[in-house]
Amino acid sequence: MKWGTLFLLTGVYPGRRLRVGRYVSIEKQKTGIESIRGEIDLYPSTNQEEIARRLGQIALEENKKILKTALATVVPERLALVLAELAGVSPQVTVGAIQKETWRRLALLLKGLPVNIEGTRSIDEATVTGGGIAVKEVDPRSMESKLIKGLFFAGEILDIDAHTGGFNMQVAFSTGYVAGEAAAKHALESID
């Protein structure tokens, strides 16, 4: 199996998750890889030392609890099970019995949880897609096709995409306005 490049996804935020699909799609098209290996930083605003301290606190304060229950104070329980497995320790082990090296591995996993990304979801589930009419084939002053006179483009028909958060809406409004004005002018000139 061919593997892609290693990259870091910071945080698990909705906007950033939407962006990952774009990078995965581009990388797969460019390289033909089957899977991309990545890491998720579950605590992007917290450094490694702070996480190690927090886990040390858990080791002291929760030493009679089992690991999955103690870890559930910092991550969802199902993720706690995955972290325990990746760290090579039973999620049922008592916190007080866990070695220092295991705590270090858990801290590393919280800053770099490994993931294998196989691909993107179907077009039916897409929030944002790429592709469309190449912008080099469109006059930006009128949004008219450089190839076919009197044909105007706007919005998502154009091959323009960027981060989520209103960019696509702004492109749709701006290009729609420019194309509408230019198309109206073109239509009036055609009547004369």
Structural domain count, the chain: 2
Residues 12 and 51 grouped into a single domain: yes
Residues 87 and 108 grouped into a single domain: yes
pLDDT on residue 14: 41
Report the alpha-carbon distance of residue 76 to residue 83 in Å, rounded.
10
Residue 124 lies in a domain: no
Query: pTM for the whole thing?
Result: 0.60
Residue 1 lies in a domain: no
| Residues 7-58 pLDDT 10s | 444 443 344 555 677 777 777 778 888 888 888 888 888 888 899 889 989 8
Residue 123 lies in a domain: no
Report the DSSP beta bridge partners of residue 94: 66
Q: pLDDT below 70 — which residues of the chain?
A: 1-19, 127-128, 162-165
